[in-house]
Amino acid sequence: MCFLRRRFPIERRPLVMLKVFGWSYAVTAVSLVVAFLYGGPTALFLCVILGIMEVSLSFDNAVVNAGILQRMSDFWQKIFLTVGIVIAVFGMRLVFPLLIVGVTANLGPIEAINLALEQRPGDDPTSYEYLLNAAHPQIAAFGGMFLLLLFLDYIFEDRDITWLTWLEKPLAKIGKLDQLSVVVAAIVLVLSAEFLAKDTEVVLLSGVLGLVTYLAVNGLGSLFSGAQTGDGDEPAGGADVADAPTTAETTKKGPNNLVKATGKAAFFLFLYLEVLDASFSFDGVIGAFAITSDPIIIALGLGLIGAMYVRSLTIFFVRKGTLQDYVYLEHGAHWAIGALAAILFISIGVHVSEIITGLLGVAFIGAAFISSIMRNRRIAAAEPSVTIAKP
């Protein structure tokens, strides 16, 4: 943590970490106690494993969240880190799997909860785990399309700073073709449905819904951002609401001189983040059943421990200006998103271990972090040293 050493004296580092990660520490302690009381040492161990898995899978999520969150006003940052975390914890990690099982098996909410608590064997066609795994192709197609479009819109945009220059520069050039990301994503969806899916129509429908959701959220953000500028200009990068321009009437400057969105623009950034977090959580929720089918342990490990640490990492990155200090982190996170999208599409027909998913994300983030450090050292070495002549 070299950026901590530079920004904070040694005696202040524990206070900084406690302030940012304090709630995560407290929630972790409570969750582990509840897990132990609920199922003994086995439940405690499974809860720890699930928490570690969720953090490793969602590290790139925190980086991308921070990149978007720093463009929002303080009020909307608090909304995302309070209301948003409730949606992330209880909505995506607990309610969403129950909803999927309920729709798939034509069950009511109470029946779906009872089925989850029964913990029937995973090979039982009537079990909660079996029904959720059976719905994986639809979930993967929806989440894969959303994340793939996000990745493509990012790499097809011309940027002043590039990480993998030999690859990103040519991609930015061909990205000038209008709606290229949509065309590429649609081709990937059709190929995945044709060659990997057992039920082609269901996968195609789910993928189209993912595409429509992405375009709708970004399109609405672009619409309101254009209305605020008064000229209707499209934001940089095509449809990416995260990069949408704003004006002084509805925005203000942040500490890093970034434009801070408020009002309707911030609201659609909030929606964008919620859908993005949902797409990131799909692999974790499905992958959890490789470890346990107990919804209580999954809610404690994924929902509480994992989601809270992702929240803390997001706050840390925003408040400490990490993305400004280490400029390649956002690049690495988006390449990790691209890898996750590819894995989701592959998993429609072939099981992919969650270990591979987690390691790929960590590898991209780690490589981007190291590259950022090397870049900072090159810049520091190139700066002329100032010497003071003795009198």
- In the Cβ-directed half-sphere of 53, how many Cα atoms lie within 13 Å? 28
| Span 347-374, average pLDDT | 85
Q: Is residue 386 part of a domain?
A: no
| Tens of pLDDT, residues 1-31 | 444 445 444 445 566 667 778 888 888 999 9
Question: What is the predicted pLDDT for the residue at 163?
Answer: 92
Question: What is the predicted pLDDT for the residue at 250?
Answer: 41
Both structure tokens of 387: 């010497």
Q: Is residue 1 part of a domain?
A: no
Q: Is residue 11 part of a domain?
A: no
Question: What is the predicted pLDDT for the residue at 49?
Answer: 85
Question: What is the predicted pLDDT for the residue at 13?
Answer: 56
Decide which of 184 and 351 is more confident: 184
348's CB contacts (< 8 A; 6+ apart) are 136, 137, 140, 141, 144, 192, 193, 196, 197, 203
Do residues 52 and 31 touch, judged by C-beta distance below 8 A? no
Decide which of 271 and 221 is more confident: 271
DSSP letter at 90? I
- What percentage of the chain has pLDDT greater than the value 70? 79
Q: Is residue 337 part of a domain?
A: yes
Alpha helices in the chain (DSSP H): 2-7, 13-69, 74-79, 85-86, 96-105, 109-118, 128-134, 136-155, 165-174, 180-195, 200-229, 263-288, 295-298, 307-319, 322-325, 329-346, 354-382
Q: Is residue 389 part of a domain?
A: no
- Residue ranges making up the domain that contains 174: 21-381
Question: What is the predicted pLDDT for the residue at 241?
Answer: 52
Q: Is residue 352 part of a domain?
A: yes
Q: Over 70: is that where the pLDDT of 222 sits? A: no
What's the pLDDT band for 236 if we cut at 50, 70, 90? very low
Cα-based angle 223, 224, 227 (whole degrees, multiple of 5) = 90
- In terms of C-beta density within 10 A (0-12 exposed, 13-18 middle, 19 or more buried), how is residue 13 classed? middle
The total number of structural domains that make up the chain: 1
Question: What is the predicted pLDDT for the residue at 5?
Answer: 47
Tell me the C-alpha distance between 126 and 144, whole Å: 27
Decide which of 133 and 205 is more confident: 205
Which residue from 23, 144, 101, 61 is spatially nearest to 298, judged by alpha carbons? Answer: 101
| Tens of pLDDT, residues 164-212 | 889 999 999 998 888 899 999 999 999 999 999 888 999 999 999 989 9
Burial readout 83-104 (b: 16 or more C-beta within 10 A, e: otherwise) = ebbebbbebbbbbbbbebbbee
Question: What is the predicted pLDDT for the residue at 345?
Answer: 93
- Helix, coil or strand: residue 31: helix
Mean pLDDT of the chain: 78
Report for 58-67, 81-90, 135-144: range of highest mean pLDDT? 135-144
Tell me the C-alpha distance between 226 and 228, whole Å: 5
Q: Over 60: is that where the pLDDT of 242 sits? A: no
Both structure tokens of 144: 């894969």
Q: Is residue 282 part of a domain?
A: yes
Decide which of 329 and 113 is more confident: 329
Question: What string of DSSP letters covers 278-316?
Answer: HHHHHHHHHHHTTT---HHHHIIIIIIIIHHHHHHHHHH
Q: Is residue 78 part of a domain?
A: yes
| Tens of pLDDT, residues 243-298 | 544 433 344 444 445 556 677 777 877 887 787 777 777 667 766 766 777 778 88
